[in-house]
Amino acid sequence: TQLLEQSPQFLSIQEGENLTVYCNSSSVFSSLQWYRQEPGEGPVLLVTVVTGGEVKKLKRLTFQFGDARKDSSLHITAAQPGDTGLYLCAGEGSSNTGKLIFGQGTTLQVKP
Amino acid sequence: SAVISQKPSRDICQRGTSLTIQCQVDSQVTMMFWYRQQPGQSLTLIATANQGSEATYESGFVIDKFPISRPNLTFSTLTVSNMSPEDSSIYLCSVGTWGDEQFFGPGTRLTVL
């Protein structure tokens, strides 16, 4: 069974600080996605990484896919209160069924 | 990206009753999925909704409890049957195609008393 371990599960920081969220597995994933979810809404896709070693940037957010495609990280620079939310990593397994396996999620609170 | 709507957005139900949740997409999609998100937790896949055939359920989920229909490529329903308080969750549908991103509906927040 493929599992994704996401850490930390909770993070409370001050505006302007940097943070990194990690997503790790012992299994290889064909792709990995990062989502952000706000209360009362469904998850919204931020990025998909497909190639081992890939780095993608989305304004202050930097996403990296591990060389072996078993892990990923999300780094936020100079966090803002608007970044507050639940961050989820999700991987599509090698079985190519389209099914996603989700990490436990990271609840981020950025205080002004 | 696809635009996905769900009905109802929330409901409060009595123990022992059933609720059917609808998921409508604004374009034809290959794959539709149903997820459950228990309070404060991540998403767990319930099943893949297959057009024209029986849904494919994940371990721990059965058709008698969560019957699913998918009559065409833009619509699916999930029924939560014989509800108990443990079924209180957010239920989300998502759509996607092989190798592409998945997009999620806004979710249905269910409270069972």
pLDDT tens profile A44-71: 999 999 999 999 999 999 999 999 999 9
Residue of B nearest to A98 (CA): B98
Tell me which residue in B42, B103, B105 faces A45 most closely, judged by beta carbons: B103
The whole-number pLDDT of residue B100 equals 64
Q: Distance between CA atoms of A29 and A51, rounded to whole angstroms?
A: 10
Q: In angstroms, rounded to a whole number, what is the distance separating the alpha carbons of residues A32 and A89?
A: 7
Residue B12 backbone class (left: φ over 0; alpha: ψ -120 to 50; beta: rest): beta
Instruction: Please judge whether A31 and B105 are an interchain contact, meaning their C-beta atoms are less than 8 angstroms apart.
Output: no
pLDDT tens track for A29-40 = 888 999 999 988
Predicted pLDDT at A93: 66
In this prediction, residue A65 carries a pLDDT of 96
Q: Does residue A58 come out as left (phi exceeding 0), alpha (psi in the -120 to 50 range) or beta?
A: beta
Q: Which amino acid is at B64?
A: D
CB contact under 8 A, B43 and A96: no
DSSP annotation of B65 reads: T
Taking 50 as the pLDDT cut, the residues of chain B under it are none
Q: How is the beta sheet containing A5-7 ordered, strand by strand?
A: A5-7, A19-24, A71-76, A61-65, A55-58
Amino acid identity of residue A90, one-letter, is: A
Q: What are the start-end ranges of the H helices in chain A?
A: none
The structure tokens listed for A80 are 């803002």
CA neighbours within 13 Å on the CB side: how many for A36? 14
Chain A residues touching residue B40 (CB < 8 angstroms): 107
pLDDT at A99 (0 to 100): 82
